[in-house]
Chains A and B, each alone.
Chain A
Amino acid sequence: MAMTSSAGAAGPPTGDGAIVHRDLVFDLSAGEEATFRRADLVVEGVDHAQISYEVRVFLNNRAADDTTARSPDNGYAGRFVVFGHGNCFGAAGHCDSTIAEPSAQSVEPGGGLPHPLAPQTRMLTITEPLRRALASPAGRLESLTFVPIAKAPRRDRRGLAAGLFKCGRISLRTYR
């Protein structure tokens, strides 16, 4: 139940509902990798309609899962938490963000508030983990693995969960 993204040609998301693969293009040419002072992973289109969950991010470790130690040796880059909307408590259609007017994703005079379930953006600073990945034998960032862990109210109900983590574009933002 991990989502893996790798450097290479961009393509549509694929997967079986639990493990999702997506190709990415991270252009770290032109010596940028040697000079950045900070690197952020920016994940757009993050779904937050269901229960809360966290996403653990691993670099160059396609085998990572919920049992993988969160250590530099395993390419662990950090995690982010999505504070979940908790499913829908309204009538039919109440939480269907797909029918919101496109303009309703921002505050406009007379336009009401943004739809509360509009997808969110998450940012994870991965400066040192990225440096380690670039200094590894691979010499580049080949893959990202996202391991979503359901943060159910009770700890004994937590663990890998299919279908919680859905996202759109993923980008790497570096600062010189």
Chain B
Amino acid sequence: MAIRTSIRGAEQDSARIGLIRRAIARMKAVGDERGYDWFAALHGVSLPIWCEHGSALFLPWHRAYLYYFELAMQTRLGPRFSRVRPADPELAEVGLPWWDWTSPASHSQGLPDAYAAETVDGQPNPLARTTIGSCPGGDAFFVGVWSAALVDAVRTQLEGSISPSGPPETVRDPDPPDELPRAETIDTVVMRQNTYGSFNMSLEQVHGDVHVWVGGSMSQVPVAAYDPIFWTHHAMIDRLWYLWQISDVGRDPPASLLNTVLAPFPMTVADTLDIERLGYDYAVDAIA
């Protein structure tokens, strides 16, 4: 069972944040469909762009996406979304942290320290940025996932979404911290929606606010998932869906949607509805 805790809590625990960093760095060095870049590309370029936005599948699709990404972090993902015994037992239960962008800390300082720091112990912080299409130290069969032509196209069509020259790197240009979504908005608007459709739409809108708040790579669909903060942002979105699910007003998606396959994942909407069956839970840590 993976416990997803807040990034602010994880930052207080050097061992836990160290595992998260190691898991991401390890994925980055895997040059096949268990690797970081392959997952990031599922959400954007290179084509096809699989992600669901503006549809009733927004929440289930991204839950499936995080589920398989987390399995890869845990070294429990095999080819074609199969599950395998963990290659690295120490990472077997690592959980994605969630970034509470409504918190007072976020509204005063913006990005979490764990994702903002450029270096950790003198080494590049794998949570701060990533070089796209690079598998440092790995068996990089997928190094060419972004052709030179694609790099040029992204730099032209989405200027500022990746570094302007050299190997393509993710970039950020965040707005002032207090422009992040407010807890009041979540509590009084989003969490009070009483149909799945209105909740899905309402939460997706807030989700978009945070994407454009971070700016740079995160602000545009084709490159957003390459920024490591994408995953902690979406863990927060998934957590809010879970909290709504167990609230008095929470509802399942319409029956007509339940058998829909969340391509390319071998999972239907119905398969995403119970996070306990998916092997993770959300918790809040109060560190003394």
Which A residues lie at the B interface, using CB under 8 A? Answer: 46, 48, 51-52, 54, 80-87, 89-90, 94, 107, 113-114, 116, 118-123, 125, 151-155, 157
Contacts of B205 in A (CB 8 A): 80-81, 122-123
Contact status B161-A153, CB under 8 Å: yes
B219 within 8 A of A: yes
A121 contacts across to B, CB distance below 8 A: 54, 201
Give the complex CA separation of A151 and B218 in angstroms: 11
- Residue contact B53 to A90, C-beta cutoff 8 Å: no
Of the A-B pairs whose beta carbons lie under 8 Å apart in the complex, a sample of 11, sorted by A's number, is: A51-B220, A82-B208, A84-B221, A89-B154, A89-B157, A121-B201, A122-B201, A153-B160, A153-B171, A153-B219, A154-B215
- In the complex, besides A122-B201, A153-B158, 7 extra interface pairs with C-beta distance below 8 angstroms are A51-B219, A52-B219, A81-B209, A87-B157, A113-B263, A151-B212, A153-B161
Please give, as numbers and ranges, the residues of chain B lying within 8 Å of A123 by CB-CB distance.
198, 201-202, 205
Report the bound CA distance from A5 to B282 in whole Å. 44
Interface residue from A83, A89, A107 paired with B53 (Cβ < 8 Å) = A83
Are A153 and B159 in touch, CB under 8 angstroms? yes
| A104: min CB distance to chain B, Å | 12
List of B residues within 8 angstroms of A118 by Cβ: 54-55
Cα-based distance from A122 to B201 in the complex (angstroms): 7
- Asked if residues A83 and B201 are in contact (CB atoms below 8 Å), the reply is no
CA distance A116 to B220 in the complex (A): 15
B84 at the binding interface (Cβ < 8 Å): no
**Total interface residues in chain B, CB < 8 Å:** 41
Q: Mark B18-61, 1 if CB is under 8 A from A, else 0.
A: 00000000000000000000000000111101000111010000
> A120–B220 contact, CB under 8 A?
no
A22–B222 alpha-carbon span in the complex (Å):
32
Please list the 9 inter-chain residue pairs (A to B) with the smallest Cβ-Cβ separation, ordered nearest first.
A120-B54, A153-B160, A154-B160, A81-B208, A151-B212, A83-B208, A153-B161, A86-B222, A86-B220
Expressed in whole angstroms, the minimum distance between the Cβ of A21 and any Cβ of chain B is: 25
Once the chains bind, are B220 and A89 in contact (CB under 8 Å)? no
Rounded to whole angstroms, the CA-CA distance of A125 and B203 in the bound complex is 13
Residues of A within 8 A of B154 (CB): 89
Task: Collect the chain B residues with CB atoms within 8 Å of residue A114's CB.
Answer: 55
* Contact between A152 and B159, CB atoms less than 8 A apart: yes
User: Which residues in window 193-243 of B have CB below 8 A to A?
Assistant: 198, 201-202, 205, 207-209, 211-212, 215-217, 219-223
A85 touches B221 (CB 8 A): yes
Whether the pair B215, A155 counts as a contact (CB closer than 8 A) is yes
Check if B157 sits within 8 Å of A86, measured CB to CB. yes
B173 touches A155 (CB 8 A): yes
Interface residue? B189 (CB, 8 A): yes
The distance in angstroms between the C-alpha atoms of A157 and B175, with both chains bound, is: 13
Docked pose: A32 CA to B157 CA in angstroms:
47
How far, in angstroms, from A86 to B161 measured CA to CA in the complex? 10
* Contact status A84-B175, CB under 8 Å: no
- B87 part of interface (Cβ distance < 8 Å): no
B247 at the binding interface (Cβ < 8 Å): no
Given B57, B153, B160, B202, which contacts A157 in the complex, CB threshold below 8 Å?
A: B160
